[in-house]
Structure 1
Amino acid sequence: MTHYLAEVADAFQESWDRQQEAYLPDREHRIATMLDAVEAVTPDGRPRLLDLAGGTGSISLRALARFPGARVTVVDQDPVLLALAEASLNGDPASPVEGDGGVVGREIVAADLGRPSWTEALPHRDYDAVLTATALHWLAPERLAVLYGEIRQVLRAGGVFANADHMPDEGLPELTKQLLGKANARREARYAAGAALSWRDWWARVAADPRLAPLHAEREKIYPAEHGSAEWTPPAGWHLAALRTAGFTETGLLWRGGADATVAAIA
C-alpha cells in the first residue's frame, strides 16, 4: 500500500533541501563529515544511528545512501516533518515491509527534546552514533547541557555524538559579522531570483497542500509562536565544555565553516 504522502514526499523533501541550503550552502559537506565519523566508529558498516531533531530525515536518508545496512531512528516533535520522514523512509506504516510498522531498522519517534522523558520513547539504548544538525539552538542553555548527558546515556561505549550548528568563533567577532553579512546577501539574492524558498514561504506551501494542511494545523498548536524562544548560539568552546561535563571521554571540533561548526564527542 502506498503511503498517503507518497505523491508529494519527494517534492517536499527536495524543496526542504533547497530551502535549507539557502541558509547552509555547505550543508552536504557538514553532513558528510559527520558520516565520516560514524564510519570510523562502526567498522562493520551497519551503524545504529539516532537522527536527533531529525526533521524530514535528511541525515538518515544520507546515512542509508552511504551505509545501506544502517538502522536509523528519527526523533522530532514536528508532525509535518515527521510525516515526510516517515513517507520517505518507511512507506505506509500499516503495510508490513520486512516487519510490522514499516521497514525494519527505520523508526520514526515523536518526542519533545525539551523534556527528559524523550529517551523513554526510544526503541534502543545502544546507538553507535547520535547526529544532529542546526536544531539544538532552540533549547535554553541549561536544558541543552542536561540533554548532552541524556545523549551520553543512549550511546554505546565508544559511540560518537556530533552536533553541527551555528557556533561562531569567539576569536573572530568582526570577521564573523562580515561573513554573516555576505551570506545573508547571497541568500536574499536567491530568494529574489526564485532559486529557493524562504523558511516562511516553505511553510506557506505546506499549509496550502491539502494532504499536509491538517498536520500543519497540529504543528501550529505545538509552536504557536514559531519556536517560542530566541535562538541561542554560543561558541564551540561552550559545547565542548558541556560535553566534557556530561561525561564524554573525548571532545573536539570536527568541522568548521565560517560561523558554523560541528563538535564531536566519544562516549
Structure 2
Amino acid sequence: MCVSTTTARLWVDRWELQQQRYAIDREERFTVVADVVEHVTAENGVPRVLDLGCGPGSLPARLAERLPHAEIVGVDKDPLLLALARACHPEAARYVEAVIGERGWIHALGLAGPVDAVVSTTALHYLPEDVLRHVYTELATLLRPGGVLVNADHLSHEGACVAEIATFVGTRRAQRQRAFDHEDWEAWWSAVENEPELRGLCAERRAGTAAGSNCPLTLGRHVELLSEAGFGPVSPVWQVGSSYVLVAVRP
C-alpha cells in the first residue's frame, strides 16, 4: 500500500519529534552509531548493513547520508512504519516486513551474503530474553569476521539505586533539551489513526502481529548473552542515563 511523500514526511517529522522523549540525546546517539559503522567499514567500498526495527527509516536515512555507497536493509514488523519509510526515505534502504526472531526471518531478508554491521535503535528491548538469545546467535553467524552489532537502546542497571539515578540523569537532560514539549507515543499513534490516507495501513497493523511489551535486561545480561552467542569484545562506547550504544565484535 503506497503512501504519498507529502503525507509520509508529515508523519515522519512528527515521529522524529516524539521519539526525542524516549531516546535521550537521540541525534547524538544516531551519530555515534554511524561513527561505529563508518569505522568498521572503512576498508569496504560497499558496506552491508542490517537495521533491526528500522521503523520509518530514521537510522537508515542517517547512515545513507554518511555512507552513500552502503547497501542497507531495514527490517520491521509494522506495515505502517515501513510504508512511511518507503515513501519518505526510499533510496536509503531496502525495507523488509518480518518479525525479528521468528522462524525464517533471516531468510526473508534476502541477503546476498554476510553483513558488515547489524544496527538497532530502541527496538531490541521488546524481545523476551529467550528470543533475544536466539537472535544474537543468528546474528553472530550472519556477520562477517570483524563485523559489529551496534545496539542503541535503553539498558537497565543492576542496582535499584543506580537505576533510579540513571533515570533521573536522563530525564533532566531531556528536560533541558525540551524533549517533553513534543507529543508522546500514545498521542502520535492516536493522531495517525485519523489520517485518511493511512487508515488502511492502520487497520492492517491492528490486524497483524500484536505490539511487543517492554522486556528490559541489564547491560550485564546483554553482555553475557552476546558472549554466549560467540561475540568477542562487548562494551558500551556511549552512555547518557540509561541510554547506551553497546558494541559487540564478531571475532
TM-score by length of 2: 0.89
Shift of 1:4: 3.5
Post-superposition Cα deviations, 1:142-194, rounded to whole Å, max 9, x if no partner, equal 110111011112211211111111113325x324314425728949x865xxx
Shift of 1:121: 0.8
- Find the counterpart in structure 1 of residue 104 from structure 2: 117
CA distance in 1, matches of 2:27, 2:183: 18
Deviates more, 1:136-145 or 1:250-259: 250-259
Deviates more, 1:36-45 or 1:18-27: 36-45
Q: Which of 151, 154, 163 is the matching residue for 1:163?
A: 151
CA distance in 1, matches of 2:235, 2:179: 34
Q: SS of the counterpart of 2:237?
A: strand
Confirm or deny: 8 A CA contact 2:3 2:84 kept in the other structure.
Answer: no
CA distance in 2, matches of 1:154, 1:33: 23
Confirm or deny: 8 A CA contact 2:168 2:241 kept in the other structure.
Answer: no
Confirm or deny: 8 A CA contact 2:140 2:230 kept in the other structure.
Answer: yes
Letter in 2 for 1:63: L
1:114–1:42 distance in 2 versus 1, CA, 3 Å: closer
Letter in 2 for 1:258: G
- Find the counterpart in structure 2 of residue 151 from structure 1: 139
CA distance in 2, matches of 1:206, 1:114: 28
CA distance in 1, matches of 2:68, 2:57: 15
1:68–1:190 distance in 2 versus 1, CA, 3 Å: closer
Post-superposition Cα deviations, 1:184-238, rounded to whole Å, max 9, x if no partner, equal 8949x865xxx311111101121111111111111112255x43x3x12121111
- Find the counterpart in structure 2 of residue 256 from structure 1: 239
Letter in 2 for 1:23: Y
- Find the counterpart in structure 1 of residue 215 from structure 2: 232
In structure 1, list runs of 5 or more residues that go unmatched. 91-102
In structure 2, list runs of 5 or more residues that go unmatched. none
Q: SS of the counterpart of 1:22?
A: coil
Confirm or deny: 8 A CA contact 1:39 1:45 kept in the other structure.
Answer: no
Structure 1 outlier segments of 4+, above 3 Å: 184-187
- Find the counterpart in structure 2 of residue 5 from structure 1: 4
Shift of 1:37: 1.1
Confirm or deny: 8 A CA contact 1:252 1:265 kept in the other structure.
Answer: yes
Q: SS of the counterpart of 1:218?
A: helix
Confirm or deny: 8 A CA contact 2:3 2:198 kept in the other structure.
Answer: no
1:112–1:84 distance in 2 versus 1, CA, 3 Å: same
CA distance in 1, matches of 2:3, 2:25: 32
Shift of 1:258: 0.5
Between the aligned residues of both structures, percent identity stands at 36
C-alpha RMSD of matched pairs (Å): 2.2
Shift of 1:123: 2.1
Q: How many residues align?
A: 244
Letter in 2 for 1:120: H
- Find the counterpart in structure 1 of residue 50 from structure 2: 50
Confirm or deny: 8 A CA contact 1:176 1:259 kept in the other structure.
Answer: yes
TM-score by length of 1: 0.84
- Find the counterpart in structure 1 of residue 182 from structure 2: 196
Matches within 5 A, 1:52-67: 52-67=52-67
